[in-house]
Structure 1
Amino acid sequence: MRNILIILIPIIICFLVGCASQNFQEDSMVSWYPYLCKSPLTPHNIVFPVAWSLLYLLMGLSIGLFVISDKAQKKYFILLFALQLFFNFTWSIAFFYLENPLLGLINIILLDFLIIYYAIKMYPVSKISSILFFPYILWVGFATYLNLYIFLYN
Structure 2
Amino acid sequence: MTMQKSSSTMGNILTVIWPIVLSLAVGALAAYMQEDSIRNWYPYLNKPPLTPPNAVFPVVWTILYIMTGLSMGLILLKSDDRKRFLRTLFLFQLFLNFFWCYLFFYRQNPLNGLVCIVVLDWIAIWYAVKAWPVKKISSILFWPYIAWLCFATYLNLYIYMYN
* TM-score range normalised by the length of the shorter chain: over 0.9
Partner of 2:153: 144
Task: Among all aligned residue pairs of Structure 1 and Structure 2, give the percentage whose two residues are the same amino acid.
Answer: 54
CA contact (8 A) 2:72 2:90 kept: yes
Work out whether 1:93 is the aligned partner of 2:99. no
- Name the SS for the 2:101 alignment partner: helix
CA contact (8 A) 2:82 2:134 kept: no
Partner of 1:115: 124
> What number of residue pairs does the alignment pair up?
154
Partner of 1:68: 77
Partner of 1:130: 139
Moved over 6 A (4+): none
Partner of 2:33: 24
1:34-72 alpha-carbon deviations (Å, 9 max, x no partner): 000000000000100000011001001000001011222
Q: TM-score, normalised by structure 1?
A: 0.98
Partner of 1:7: 16
RMSD: 0.7
Computing the radius of gyration over CA atoms, which structure comes out larger, 1 or 2? 2
Could you tell me how far 1:4 is from its partner in structure 2?
0.6
Structure 1 unaligned blocks of 5 or more: none
Partner of 1:153: 162
- The amino acid across from 1:108 in the alignment is I
Structure 2 unaligned blocks of 5 or more: 1-9
